[in-house]
Every structure is written in C-alpha cells, then in structure tokens.
C-alpha cells in the first residue's frame, strides 16, 4: 500500500510492504495503516498497526484496529475542534482514548467470534462464551487475531507561533516514532529492547485493557514526524547506523510516492518482517490567492 498528499501546509507519505518472510510463505501482510482527514481538512489523523504473527488472522485485526481508532478520533476532532494552542496538552489528554480502545477491542472480538465458534463446535463445546449474546474474552480473541496500535494526529496549518500541533499515542505494542531533523533522529517512543540484557519479542496487543498516555507535540518546519512498525524499527534500532543514514538522506524532504515505498523496502539480512511507515513533513504556511 502506498499513498500520500499535501493538506494545508503539511505533506505526508505512507507505505506498507509485505516482508520477505511472508512473501516466501505466501502469507498476507499483517501490518496495516489508516490515514484520514477531518472534513474541514484541519487535521490529519492516522494509525499504524502490526498484526501479531502467532495468530494467523492478525492482518484482519490490524486493519480493524486502525479503522476504529481513527474513526473515533476524527469524529471527536470534528465535534470538539481544538481552539487554543496553549491548551493543546489538556485537549490531547481529553480525547476519548478509552472509547477508542473499547471500539478497537470490540471490532476485533466481533471478527474473531465466528472463528472461535467453529473451533468450539469442532471440540464439542457449543456453550463456550463465543455465543452471540455473550462477550468474547480478550484472551480468546487474541488466540485468533491480535494487533498493536500507534495513533497520531497533526494539524494541517501552523499555530500563531509557527509550530504545528500534533499528538502521538502508543495504544498498544512496540511501534516506534522519531522526529527527524536533518541527520538527527530523536526518539519519541521507547526504543525496543534498548538496555535489555535479553532480547524479547513479547508484545502487548489488542484486544486488551489499555491505559493510553498520549504525547502532545509541537512540530517545526524542517522536522519530519516518522512513525513505524517494528519491521522498520528493529533494523533502525537507535538510529545510529547505516539504515538511519540511508533514510535521513532520502527522507529529509518528501520523496516521490514510489520512491518512498522503495526506500522502506530496503534489504538487510535477517530483517524480513512487514514494514509500515507514515511520515509527515510540516512546512511554512502556504499563501493562498
């Protein structure tokens, strides 16, 4: 998947590529993303998700999680448009995060229900809690499909001080985000396994209870907000090696759509997972005639 656009005074690029491991086994890409604009075009809202590979239908969960979270955020921003840039931190905290998580959990549970019912029937357990009138336990749904989620929003025009309001919320999982300014990558999320003696691939995923702690941001022209699943985050690491040097040269300014996907699909031995990235470049306000 590839797309991108100019909206107001910002530019974005988005791409999701199937990893070599899934290509070799003929399996679907388990990453997903959704990017949406509010109707007034004042906000770019999105989510990236990584389906958990241990559950075979996680590609469905990734798509559903992104769809529901972005839908909740877009509707809220339309109905309650942020007005005072000085109160941005409070407005970010007041967004309906619990409702977004609940909607994502419910969507995945509904998708998992028929598969769980078939399993129960094969085992001779028709009265398991996957019956239509009862909730699906999160753990049962995760055995069929599960996904991480990283949500974001960026204002399409600058505030009076020239910065762009933005937010980042790691709803669940280990997706990463950086600010790229020239050759400097500044992490906005915890770098996976940094400082750990033992490498771990364990990840918290939806559906599950999640306490969202959103991060308010103020982007400046000349910076790029870059969000990624661990398919890119793992080879990028602490952004001090060859991958970060390659991408900083090519992503200093918005590249062509196909070029952006080609940059994302670089080859590096042992890093064969799906890769998904959304990058947003704020710029100086454009003059309108």
At 196 the pLDDT is 44
pTM of the model: 0.91
At 127 the pLDDT is 53
Around Cβ 241, how many Cβ atoms within 10 Å?
Answer: 12
At 132 the pLDDT is 63
CATH number attached to the domain at 2-282: 3.60.40.10
At 288 the pLDDT is 41
Mean pLDDT, consecutive 10-residue stretches, the chain (289 aa), reads: 96 94 85 97 98 93 98 97 94 97 97 91 67 82 97 97 97 95 94 51 84 96 97 93 95 96 91 94 63
């Amino acid at each position: 998947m590839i797309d991108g656009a100019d909206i107001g005074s910002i530019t974005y690029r988005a791409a999701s590529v199937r990893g070599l491991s899934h290509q070799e086994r003929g399996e679907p890409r388990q990453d997903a993303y959704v990017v949406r604009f509010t109707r007034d075009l004042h906000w770019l809202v999105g989510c990236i998700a990584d389906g958990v590979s241990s559950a075979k239908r996680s590609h469905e969960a990734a798509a559903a999680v992104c769809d529901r979270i972005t839908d909740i955020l877009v509707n809220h921003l339309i109905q309650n448009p942020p007005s005072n840039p000085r109160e941005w931190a409070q407005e970010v905290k007041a967004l309906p995060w619990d409702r977004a998580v609940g909607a994502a959990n419910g969507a995945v549970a509904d998708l998992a229900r028929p598969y769980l019912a078939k399993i129960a029937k094969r085992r001779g357990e028709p009265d398991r809690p996957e019956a239509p009138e009862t909730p699906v336990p999160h753990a049962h749904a995760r055995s069929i499909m599960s996904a991480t989620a990283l949500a974001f929003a960026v204002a399409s025009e600058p505030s009076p001080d020239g910065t762009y309001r933005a937010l980042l919320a790691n709803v669940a999982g280990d997706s990463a985000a950086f600010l790229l300014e020239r050759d400097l990558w500044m992490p906005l999320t915890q770098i996976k396994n940094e400082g750990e003696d033992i490498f771990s691939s364990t990840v918290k995923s939806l559906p599950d209870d999640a306490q969202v702690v959103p991060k308010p941001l103020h982007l400046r022209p000349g910076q790029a907000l870059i969000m990624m699943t661990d398919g890119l985050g793992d080879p990028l690491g602490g952004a001090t090696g060859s991958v970060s040097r390659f991408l900083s040269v090519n992503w200093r300014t918005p590249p062509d759509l196909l070029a952006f996907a080609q940059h994302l699909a670089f080859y590096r031995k042992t890093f064969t997972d799906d890769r998904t990235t959304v990058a947003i470049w704020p710029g100086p306000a454009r003059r309108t005639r």
